[in-house]
Amino acid sequence: MSRSIRRILYVPNETGDARQFGYRRAFADLLSAGMLDEVRVFSLEHRIHAGGDAAAHRADLLAAAREFAPDLLFMQHLGRTGLTDGDFEQLTSGGTPLLYHEADPYTRRVHPLPAAARAAGRAADVVFTVGAGTFTTNFLRSGARRVEWTPSAFDPNRIDLGEGQRERAMDVVIIANRGRARIRPLPNAADRVRFIEAVQDRLGDRLALHGRGWSGPSARGPVPYSEQTTVLRSAWMSANWDHFAAEPCYFSDRLAIALASGSVFATTLHPGYSAVFPPDLTRRFLITSSQPQDLLQRIEQWLATTTVDQRLDAELAAREFAWSHLRQDDTLVTMLNAVGVGIDPRAASEAWDIRRAPLDAL
């Protein structure tokens, strides 16, 4: 794109008290380094869920965009906002480019892409989504012109970088919810239940199982998002079985958080993983299989054949890989550059400062 992009209107995916601090802090860093001139935040979904008239909040967004006249709109996960094609026509009038980031997983029919996300995809110059198969074709089928893959990433501000302990209370920790839908369950929900119940049967109280809906000797109940790092480091490894197991290159941010925290991770083998996680770099800390029972056997083999020193070395390698490849701030720069912002990734990485206060506007 020929126009200079220095002023951005950011519409994040936020509800309740949750904030996209990883992106908000990264924008603050880019502003401090002079790589951007101004970034304004309009947290539309937060405002809608906080109360008031949803249509009025959408009108306020349109008014804010007209008043600010940004060089770029960067919007995330708009599924429940009610935005329409007409709204996006107004937002992008005058040629303002739109960058849309959809980090939630959707199938074609069971868990379809919401109307507002489809409209955003049609209006966007570039869409980024976290799967390279159905997640991508969902947008192309809806009329998107260009769809790119981006990894699910972690917020560096939320990771505890303490050293790993030589003694652990647990062998394995799992953080996952058990879905209750019977009519239209998420893909691979039954495989997840079979895998987790099998791990619990084999490991018993050596497994810490966190999340809603589980029972048995391993069940610990939900864990707050802010405490995931601490929980992950309480065991020698973490594990999960994914929904959307057939989606190429897909993984949730739980994998990114686990590796960044220094946790060896066992999970579903997706198509495309050999490119995302090259085996020569990741085999020490990423254990995968396409079958739940085989993954359990691999977990038990790893626990039976590794020494404490080997496990600690694997944790350091996991952390190094994640911090080099799966940071939210780095992925933000990649997405911004896809629409021509032109930020030097090396200079940006030197500007990252997790002590800096994030943008706090709503």
**What is the per-residue pLDDT for 186?**
81
Rounded to whole angstroms, the Cα distance separating 100 from 105 reads: 14
For residue 111, give the DSSP letter.
Answer: S
Q: Is 149 helix (H, G, I), strand (E, B) or coil?
A: strand
The answer to whether the CB of 7 falls within 8 A of the CB of 342 is: no
Phi (first) and psi of residue 10, to 5 degrees: -105, 120
Rounded to whole angstroms, the Cα distance separating 59 from 39 reads: 20
Tokens of 291: 């079958």
Rounded to whole angstroms, the Cα distance separating 29 from 32 reads: 5
Rg (CA), the chain: 21
pLDDT exceeding 90 applies to what percent of the chain?
A: 89
> How do residues 322-350 score in pLDDT, each as one tens digit?
999 999 999 999 999 999 999 999 999 99
Rounded to whole angstroms, the Cα distance separating 351 from 33 reads: 6
> How do residues 91-129 score in pLDDT, each as one tens digit?
999 999 999 999 999 988 888 999 999 999 999 999 999
**Which residue type does 104 have?**
D
Classify residue 238 as exposed, middle or buried by CB count within 10 Å of its CB (0-12, 13-18, 19+).
buried
Residue 1 or residue 195, greater confidence: 195
Separation in Å, CA 19 to CA 13, 82, 159, 257: 8, 20, 15, 16
Pair type for strands 235-239 and 264-268: parallel
* Model confidence at 182: pLDDT above 80: no
Rounded to whole angstroms, the Cα distance separating 293 from 97 reads: 47
| pTM greater than 0.75 (yes/no) | yes
Which domains are present in the chain? 7-153+327-351 (3.40.50.2000), 158-324 (3.40.50.2000)
